[in-house]
Structure 1
Amino acid sequence: MQGERVPPLHARIGLACYKCFKDEDIRLSRCSGCHRISYCSSECQKLDWRQHKAMCKALSGIEKNNPMAVATLFFSLPSEPTTDLNVLHNMTETHAANILGFCERSLQRQPNVLERNIVGWEPRCMVCTRTDQLIRMEAAKNGTTSEVPKKLIPCSRCDLSFCCSPAHWEAARALHHGPSCEDGHDGLSHCDMNREVRADLKFAEVMAGAHDESGQFRWAPERLKSSWSSLVGLSWEGEFGDEMRRSVGVPQERPMGPWVRAASEHLSMPMSILYALEKLNDDDAWTKKHTLTIHILGGTMTEITAAPMLEEILHRLSEVKTLKLVLCGPEMEGNHIPRLIPLETCPDCTRLGRKRIHEHVSDTYHGYVKNKGTKFEKPDLCIAFNSGASQASMHSWPATFKILVDRKIPSLFTAYNREEAEGEAALLRKAGATLLPALGPIKNPWGSIKVIPEPNKIYGFYAANGWLAGGFKQ
C-alpha cells in the first residue's frame, strides 16, 4: 500500500515479521502456504493477507500441482557443492527467473516489486543454491516427506547466509569466512559484512521508530573547513566519525559504525563529486572558483532528498562563493523549461554570503544541451549517480554519452556494483571516452559503506555509488 515501508531484508527472508518487521523477543511462524515469509501473530498475517494472497498461491502452486516447474527447477542443480561464483550466480539467476516466470503465468500479470523481492532474496545454499522449497520438493521426489522437513542451516554468526547441510557448510567456510570480501570494506569477510547488514537493519528500525518512517538516517556536517585538503587516503570513519558523535550525542563507549554507514548513503554524492574534481583536474584552481557548477544527470527524488548533504561541497571549498547544481532527468517534475530554486544555506555559509542554487530540468541531458543551444555553459563536472546505463534506459544514454565526449565535458558515472560499472565503462569507451584509470571501473573510495546483499545471488553486496564506472575529461 502507498505510504507503507517496503519490508526490509530480514523480513523478506523470513527472519522478521513481514508486516510489523519485529525480529526480537518474538516467536515467528512461517506462512503455511509459501513458506517464504514469517509473521509474529495471526493478526499481522490477517492484515497482510490481502496483499500477500496472490503471490502466496502462485508460489505454493509451483510444488503442489506443476510437474513441469518441478522438473525445470531441478534440472540445473549441481550434484556436488561448488565455490565457483560464476556458476553459482548463473544458477541462482536462472532459478529466480524460472520462479518469476511460473508466478507470472499464475498471476496473469508481472509480479510487483514486493513480490519480486521475496524471490530475489530467497535464502539458498551457498554452494549448491538449493532453497527450502527445493529441499521440500526433493524430499517429496525421494519419498521422504514423512520425515521431519529438512531446512537450510543459517550461519550461527550472521544468520544471513545458509547451507543445506553441515557438509556444504564445510565446503562454504572459506568462501564465507575468508578475508576481504570484494564488495565490502576494511578487509572484512562476507560473514562480517552480513553482520554489519544486520546491525544496519536494527539501526534503521530505531530511526524509523524515532522520527523517520522511511528508516533512513540523514546527517549533514555543519562545520566549514578552512581550506581544501585532498580526499586521497581518507576514510569515512576517520573523516566523519568524531564530528557525528558530537553532533548526534552518541556516548563515547558506543561504536559509530551504524551511524557513519547510514550517513554515507547520501554523503557519498558530494564526496564522489569532490573526489572526481580532484582527480580530473591537474591543479587546485577549481577549488578557488567564485561559482562551481555541477550537472547531475538522470536526476530523481534521491538527489533532491540529498540536497542538504550536497552543501558539504561548499563546506570543503572555502573560496567558492556559489554552488550551482543542475539536476537533469526525465523523472524530474515539470517540463523542459528549467526551474530555478534558490536553497537556504547553513548559518555560517549565510553569514559569509555563500549561495546554493538548484536548477531542475525534466529532460534527458542531450535534450537539455540541445534546448540551451548557444546559451549552454560547460559545467565543472557532469555526474550520473547509479545511472544503470548498461542495464536500463539504454536507448537514451548513448546520445548523452556522445554529447559529453564531443563537447569534452569532465564527467563521472557511478554504479552499484562491479558488473554495472564494467558494463557502463564499455559503453563509455564505445562512445569514444578515454577513461582515467583512477576513476573506473574501480571501487569508489567514497561510495556508500551501507551495503545490501545482492538479490538473486548467494555472495556479494551492492551500495549506492559503490563503484566508479568511468571518468573522463577529453
Structure 2
Amino acid sequence: MDELHNLFFYANVCHVCKAFSKELPLKRCGSCQIISYCGKEHQKQHWPQHKYLCKILSDLRQETGSSLFPKPQDSSNKSWPQVKTNLMLIVALKSSRRLELYEEQMFKFPRACVVCHESESKTLQDCQNCPGASFCPLHKSDSVHEKQCASLKLCFDLDVTATLFERQVPRHVVPFHTDRAYLPSTIRDFIDLYVNENKTLPMSFDCRIAYTSEYLTRPLTLLYAIQRLDYSPGINMTIHVIGANVIELDGLEVWEILLHWLPALTVLRIILIGPELTRSTLIPNVCDCCAVEDMRVHVDVCNMLYQDYVNSHGFENPDFIIGYNVGLHECEDFSSENDTWSPCVRSLGTQNCPVILTSYTLEEAKKDHERICAVLGDTVALVLCEHNPFASLRPHRDFEVEDVYYQNQIITIYRELSVVTLCIV
C-alpha cells in the first residue's frame, strides 16, 4: 500500500487515502506545511517515508524565515516555474538520495494561489471540485481555473484509477479487414464505434475513454497521416519511430489496428529508435484471423540515436518516419554537445519519405518546424500543422503553465523534408 499512495502527489488530498471534499478538513504537516492528511492516523502511517524530506524542508524554512515558495514579484508570474524548480534543486542537493516522483511533484504542484501564487497556507481556500487548485482572498473566482477544473479532476481520477486496476491494453478493437474507407472524425468517435472492452471495470465513463485513448493515439495518429497523404501501403510497411522511449513500448499490441484497417498490409515492421531503450526484438501477439493469414507485427528496438541508426548495418529503409512529442526545439544551442537533434534532422532529410511529428502545443510545433528549417534550409515546408483529431484524451498536469497537456495534441506532416506547401490550421 505504501508504494501505491506514493505514486503521485496532490496538495489538497490526503496523501495516503487520496480523500478530499469540503466536508473533510485536511491536516497539513506542521513542519513542512506542504503535504496533507485526513487525520493523525494517516499522517503517522506516512511519517516513516516523509520524515527524511520533512527534516530538510523544515530546516530550509528556519533558514529563510519565510515561505518555501516566495510569491513572484513580476506581474506576469513567468518566474513561478523557476521558483519551484530552484527549491527542488536545493532540496535535491541537500538530500543523500534521489527524490521520488511524488516528492518532485510536491515542488512542482504546491498549494498556492493559482493566479498570484501566494503560498501562505492560512489565507488560501481550496477548490471544492478538484484537488489541484487553491485561491487567495483576492482571486476566489478565477475564470481561467473554471475552464481547467474538470480536466484537473479527471487527471486526479485517472491517477487514482491507475493505482487500483491493472493496465489492460485494448485489443482487437477494429474488425479484421474493416470495410470502412475513412477513419472516424476523432479518436472519441473511434472509441465509441469500436472499443467495447473494459466496460466491466468500476471506473467512470470519462476515465475509460481517456485511459483507452492513451493507447490508441499512436497508431491512429499514423493512420490519420496516411489518410491525409492519400497513401496506399503495399504488403509490407516499415515505420521508424524516432526519439522513442519506454512509453512507446507500452501497448505494442494495438499496432495490429493497421493490419486490420489497411487491406493490403501483411507485415508491419516498427523500428523504435532511441538511446534510452534496451536493444531487443519483439513480436506482439495478433488475433487469430491475422495469424491464419500470416499477418504480423514485428518490432525492433534500437538503443541509439537516429543518425547512428541510419549509418548502422541494421538500417532498413522506412516508408514513414514518426516522432511522438520529441521536442526538436528544446536544445536551442546548435553548437552544444547536447544537441543531438541537428544531426538527426540532417539524417531525416536523406530518407525521401513522409515525416510526421507530434507536439504538445501549436507553439512547440512551430518551434520544431523552425528548427528543421534552421538545419535543412528555409525551403522545407509543411503539408499541414494542425490540432490532431486523434490526440490522447488523457490529461497530464503541466507544472510550468499550471494547466494540462495531452499526448500528440498537434500533428505536423511533411511529405518529405523538401519543398512542399505550408498550411497551418
The normalised TM-score by structure 2 is 0.83
- Cα distance per residue 1:354-390 (max 9 Å; x no partner): 1111122221111111013xx7442111112222333
Is 1:123 the counterpart of 2:68? The answer is no
Residues 129, 435 of structure 1: CA spacing in aligned structure 2 closer, same or farther, 3 A cutoff? farther
Letter of the 2:50 partner, please give it: H
C-alpha contact (below 8 Å) 1:34/1:59 kept by paired residues: yes
Separation (CA, whole Å) in 1 of partners of 2:238 and 2:311:
18
Pairing partner for 1:275 from 213, 224, 238: 224
Is 1:468 the counterpart of 2:411? The answer is yes
- Cα distance per residue 1:79-119 (max 9 Å; x no partner): xxxxxxxx23x132132133224424543777554322111
Separation (CA, whole Å) in 2 of partners of 1:389 and 1:348:
40
Residue matched to 1:413: 357
Letter of the 1:162 partner, please give it: S
Separation (CA, whole Å) in 2 of partners of 1:326 and 1:95:
40
C-alpha contact (below 8 Å) 1:265/1:449 kept by paired residues: yes
Residue matched to 1:388: 327
Is 1:363 the counterpart of 2:304? The answer is yes
Residue matched to 1:99: 87
Separation (CA, whole Å) in 2 of partners of 1:294 and 1:350:
21
C-alpha contact (below 8 Å) 1:382/1:409 kept by paired residues: yes
Residue matched to 2:3: 4
Pairing partner for 2:318 from 375, 379, 383: 379
Report matched runs for 1:39-78 at 5 Å.
Answer: 39-40=37-38, 42=40, 44-67=42-65, 73-74=70-71, 76=73, 78=75
SS of residue in 1 equivalent to 2:113? coil
Q: Percent identity?
A: 21
Q: How far did 1:419 drift?
A: 4.9
Q: Where do 4+ consecutive residues of structure 1 move more than 6 Å? A: 24-27
Is 1:241 the counterpart of 2:240? The answer is no
Q: How far did 1:340 drift?
A: 4.1
Pairing partner for 1:158 from 113, 130, 134: 130
Separation (CA, whole Å) in 2 of partners of 1:343 and 1:107:
42
C-alpha contact (below 8 Å) 2:241/2:271 kept by paired residues: yes
Residue matched to 2:175: 223
Residues 443, 217 of structure 1: CA spacing in aligned structure 2 closer, same or farther, 3 A cutoff? farther
Residues 284, 410 of structure 1: CA spacing in aligned structure 2 closer, same or farther, 3 A cutoff? closer
- Give the gaps of 5 or more residues in structure 2: 332-336, 419-425
Q: How far did 1:228 drift?
A: 5.4
Residues 271, 7 of structure 1: CA spacing in aligned structure 2 closer, same or farther, 3 A cutoff? farther
Letter of the 2:164 partner, please give it: G
Is 1:176 the counterpart of 2:145? The answer is yes
C-alpha contact (below 8 Å) 1:268/1:448 kept by paired residues: yes
Residues 53, 461 of structure 1: CA spacing in aligned structure 2 closer, same or farther, 3 A cutoff? same
Residues 456, 6 of structure 1: CA spacing in aligned structure 2 closer, same or farther, 3 A cutoff? farther
SS of residue in 1 equivalent to 2:197? helix
SS of residue in 2 equivalent to 1:406? coil
Report matched runs for 1:61-460 at 5 Å.
Answer: 61-67=59-65, 73-74=70-71, 76=73, 78=75, 87-88=76-77, 90-104=78-92, 106-107=94-95, 111-131=99-119, 135=120, 149-150=122-123, 152-165=124-137, 167-170=138-141, 172-173=142-143, 175-177=144-146, 189-202=147-160, 204-205=161-162, 208-210=163-165, 212=166, 216-220=167-171, 221=173, 223-227=175-179, 229-231=181-183, 234-244=185-195, 246-249=196-199, 256-279=205-228, 281=229, 283-286=230-233, 289-334=234-279, 339-372=280-313, 376-391=315-330, 394-432=338-376, 434-438=380-384, 440=385, 442-458=386-402, 460=403
Separation (CA, whole Å) in 1 of partners of 2:362 and 2:11:
25
SS of residue in 1 equivalent to 2:283? strand
Q: How far did 1:44 drift?
A: 4.3
Report matched runs for 1:8-23 at 5 Å.
Answer: 11-17=9-15, 19-22=16-19
C-alpha contact (below 8 Å) 1:241/1:256 kept by paired residues: no
Residues 120, 395 of structure 1: CA spacing in aligned structure 2 closer, same or farther, 3 A cutoff? same
C-alpha contact (below 8 Å) 1:13/1:37 kept by paired residues: yes
Residues 361, 117 of structure 1: CA spacing in aligned structure 2 closer, same or farther, 3 A cutoff? same
Q: How far did 1:324 drift?
A: 0.8
Q: How far did 1:302 drift?
A: 1.8
Residues 437, 304 of structure 1: CA spacing in aligned structure 2 closer, same or farther, 3 A cutoff? same
Separation (CA, whole Å) in 1 of partners of 2:5 and 2:204:
27
Letter of the 1:406 partner, please give it: T
SS of residue in 2 equivalent to 1:4? helix
Separation (CA, whole Å) in 1 of partners of 2:115 and 2:205:
34
C-alpha contact (below 8 Å) 1:324/1:356 kept by paired residues: yes
Is 1:32 the counterpart of 2:1? The answer is no
- Cα distance per residue 1:292-317 (max 9 Å; x no partner): 11111122222222211111111211
Residues 325, 104 of structure 1: CA spacing in aligned structure 2 closer, same or farther, 3 A cutoff? closer
- Give the gaps of 5 or more residues in structure 1: 79-86, 137-148, 178-188
Residue matched to 1:182: none
